[in-house]
Structure 1
Amino acid sequence: MSTQLIDELSNKIKEMYSSLPTGEMDGNLHALLQGAFTKLELVSREEFDVQAEILRKTRERLVELEAQVAVLEASLEKSE
């Protein structure tokens, strides 16, 4: 998870709760958000794009293999 995103969220929450003592919030908010995002098991955009490309190639290969199986099945039916 991007530190910049965590910092941005942290700042927005600080603005919302500005009436609380800032020292109390500053010490824990960043760690709290980091822990929450870690538990969500979020992935970076780069990791997502890599997996999407792998999936695309896998689907293409599946289509190719299905076509090969269809040809083999047709060939088998003719020979019987």
Structure 2
Amino acid sequence: MQDELNKLTQQLSKLFDNQIASDTEQHVHQLVQSYIQKMGFVSREEFDAQSAVLQRSREKLKQLEQRLDTIERNR
């Protein structure tokens, strides 16, 4: 997502002279970042980290369910 944002701002900067381009690039970058935050998007790294946490939680839940089943069968 960051790469696409950088590409967009670079393309816009080619359309304007250096000072205007620099100001415009910063402004567009801030606007897009703000929009991304408002929409609740997350980076790939954040998504992957949360996916790993979820996978570990599922594995732990499965183990606990198996232990509970064993305990209940032995009653």
* TM-score for both structures, normalised by structure 1: 0.63
CA RMSD for the aligned pairs?
Answer: 2.6
CA contact (8 A) 1:10 1:33 kept: no
Task: Give the corresponding residue for 2:39.
Answer: 40
User: Cα deviation per residue 1:23-77 (whole Å; 9 max; x = unaligned)?
Assistant: 5xx264332212111211221111111111111111111111101111111111x
* TM-score for both structures, normalised by structure 2: 0.66
Question: In percent, how many aligned pairs have the same letter?
Answer: 32
Q: How many residue pairs get matched?
A: 68
> Between Structure 1 and Structure 2, whose CA radius of gyration is higher?
1
Question: Which letter maps to 1:75?
Answer: N
Specify every segment of 5 or more residues in structure 1 that has no aligned partner in the other structure, as ranges. none
Runs of 4+ in 1 over 4 A off after TM superposition: none
- Greater relative contact order, per chain length (Cα 8 Å cut-off, separation 6+): 1
Specify every segment of 5 or more residues in structure 2 that has no aligned partner in the other structure, as ranges. none
